[in-house]
Amino acid sequence: MKSDQNTHSKLDRSLKDRHIQFLALGGVIGVGLFYGASEAVRLAGPGILIAYIIAGIIVAIVMRSLGEMTVEKPIAGSFSSYAHELLGPRMGFITGGMWWFFWVATVMSELAAIGKLIQFWYPAFPAWIPGLVALGLFTLCNLLVVRVFGEIEFIFAILKVMTIIGFMIFGALMILTGVFNDGKVVGLTNLWAHGGFLPFGWVGVISVISLVIQGYSGIETLAVEAGESQDPAKSLPKAFRTVTFRISFFYIGSILIMLAAYPWNELLKAGESPYILIFMKAGIPLVATIMNLLIIFSALSSCNTGVYGASRILYSMAEDKNMPAALTKINSNKIPYMATYATAAAMSIGTIITYLSPDYVYIWITSASAFASLFTWIVILVLEILFRSKVEKNGEKLQYPMPFWPVLPILGIIMLLGALAAIIYSPLTRVSVFSGIGWLLLLLVYYQIKIAPRYRNPSVKVQHDA
């Protein structure tokens, strides 16, 4: 299938190879790892490692499938546009709408976490104010030339990577040498010495699936960035090859070290990150303060990427005439500013929820985004199977073919359906299914009323285009 790089070409293709490499990391490594890990550890204990490994395998399959399609056709609409082409306009619209919902919910949760992290220094400070200020700042950032956005996110991503590597080195020293741990070399015994490796059984692992999935979610933004990549043929294969390994290494590695360094049940304190508590327990509060600051930067970065990804998918849907034409407007910097404003406005609802219920908003909204993420990943795998079948039928060759096809995408779909069943099983995360299905129904109703008539009646479509 030939690449169509002219689609949605009004956007500025100025993201360089290094931007693409690190933007995917920036979008994924956020408070879902640094802050949300506390809730996941509380529910599963050391067994959380199993959930992260399973999710890592799923992500690897999804990203390899998405990479195959994106290298052939690098456009801003990405999997939403592919769904429109391969599954019809209804599925294209729903896929884009679900992914937009995912990022809106994710950024809402990150905004809530920023407020709670600020309370590390100022416990009485209202949690909703920092999130509102942050939303304003990265909305402005997203209105700048995309190259400037890329540079800002590149710096943020470097800080994140340095933070995780620094934490892993510090934790490894504690585990292997006993430094900052009264000279006690604990090795890996903390993984099973406090109630066993599965203190809550497999039920605990199942209960955290949505939190872990949400932690990995957003990695598919890499494909959306392709629409503004300076040299997609060069940068995308490299990015898709490395990003899954890097994310899995940082996530699984840092969680492993965190659980080995201290007993997991001593790292549970409501509203605080276990990554910070380790340094507090080690008697070095200055480093804990620096870690808290870096986690806030991580949250800001993830939110910034969220506004970018969600606004681009909304712009793409409007370009396909599935959303109001006003959302296709771009400014002098070739940025879809109306789509950016609309996305930021939806995300601002999170500050209202944080104001009303600051203690529970993070877990609620994080779970709510999981269904949309799983839905998107399943669609991506189905699209890859259809895409590959079409290419092989036409006798064409792919630049970046999926290995072990079609076994891997089918395995990925089965694993994702299992993850969805796990989310439905857990009472804590069942809200993600209710909210996701509710949003899905809203999208279907909107499509039937506003969009379907254009496909049934050609004259309506002409009037719309005019």
Task: Give the tens place of pLDDT for each residue, 162-212.
Answer: 888 888 888 888 888 877 767 677 788 888 988 889 998 888 888 788 778
| CA gap 81, 84 in Å, rounded | 5
Name the 3-class secondary structure at 113: helix
Name the 3-class secondary structure at 289: helix
Least confident stretch, 163-172, 225-234, 373-382:
225-234
Q: CA angle, 417 as apex, 23 and 437 as ends, to 5°?
A: 80
Of residues 417 and 72, the one with the higher pLDDT is: 417
Of residues 432 and 465, the one with the higher pLDDT is: 432
Least confident stretch, 20-29, 279-288, 324-333:
20-29
pLDDT of 282 over the 80 cut: no
Burial letters for 127-163: b for 16+ Cβ neighbours within 10 Å, e otherwise? Answer: bbebbbebbeebbebbbeebbebbbbbbebbebbbeb
Of residues 367 and 189, the one with the higher pLDDT is: 189
Quick one: pLDDT at residue 168?
85
* Mean pLDDT value across residues 123-143: 83
Q: Which two tokens stand for residue 272?
A: 């605080």
When pLDDT is cut at 50, 70 and 90, the band that residue 94 belongs to is very high
| CA gap 378, 64 in Å, rounded | 13
**How many other CB atoms sit within 10 Å of the CB of residue 99?**
29
Quick one: pLDDT at residue 255?
87
Q: Could you tell me how far CA 201 lies from the centroid of its own chain?
A: 28
pLDDT of 355 over the 90 cut: no
CB 278, CB 267: distance < 8 Å: yes
| CA gap 9, 315 in Å, rounded | 12
pLDDT of 330 over the 80 cut: yes
Quick one: pLDDT at residue 426?
73
Closest by CA position to 211, among listed 368, 105, 77: 368
CB 384, CB 68: distance < 8 Å: yes
Q: Letter for the amino acid at 337?
A: Y
When pLDDT is cut at 50, 70 and 90, the band that residue 240 belongs to is confident
| CA gap 305, 23 in Å, rounded | 8
pLDDT of 63 over the 70 cut: yes
Quick one: pLDDT at residue 6?
42
pLDDT of 464 over the 60 cut: no
Q: Which of the listed ranges 61-65, 159-163, 231-235, 411-415 does the model predict with the highest average pLDDT? A: 411-415
pLDDT of 70 over the 60 cut: yes
Quick one: pLDDT at residue 269?
63
Q: Could you tell me how far CA 163 lies from the centroid of its own chain?
A: 19
Look at the alpha carbons of 209, 212, 214, 219 in this order and tell me if their dihedral is positive or negative: negative
Strands (E), 416-462: none
Integer angstrom CA distances of residue 304 from 14, 39, 66, 135, 297: 18, 24, 22, 8, 10
* Mean pLDDT value across residues 429-441: 81
Closest by CA position to 404, among listed 67, 53, 65, 66: 65
When pLDDT is cut at 50, 70 and 90, the band that residue 419 belongs to is confident
Look at the alpha carbons of 223, 227, 233, 238 in this order and tell me if their dihedral is positive or negative: negative
The pTM of the full predicted model, rounded to 2 decimals, is 0.82
pLDDT of 364 over the 70 cut: no
Beta carbons within 8 Å of 217's beta carbon, 6+ residues apart: 28, 32, 102, 106, 369, 370, 373
Least confident stretch, 29-43, 149-163, 390-404:
29-43
* Mean pLDDT value across residues 145-151: 68
Quick one: pLDDT at residue 227?
57
Quick one: pLDDT at residue 129?
86
Q: What is the mean pLDDT of the chain?
A: 79
Quick one: pLDDT at residue 31?
63
* Mean pLDDT value across residues 334-362: 79
Quick one: pLDDT at residue 410?
95
Q: Which two tokens stand for residue 93?
A: 């619209």
Closest by CA position to 307, among listed 88, 92, 144: 144
* Mean pLDDT value across residues 54-63: 89
Q: Letter for the amino acid at 84?
A: H
Q: Letter for the amino acid at 309?
A: G
pLDDT of 5 over the 50 cut: no
Beta carbons within 8 Å of 302's beta carbon, 6+ residues apart: 26, 27, 28, 29, 30, 31, 32, 106, 107, 110, 218
* Mean pLDDT value across residues 132-158: 77
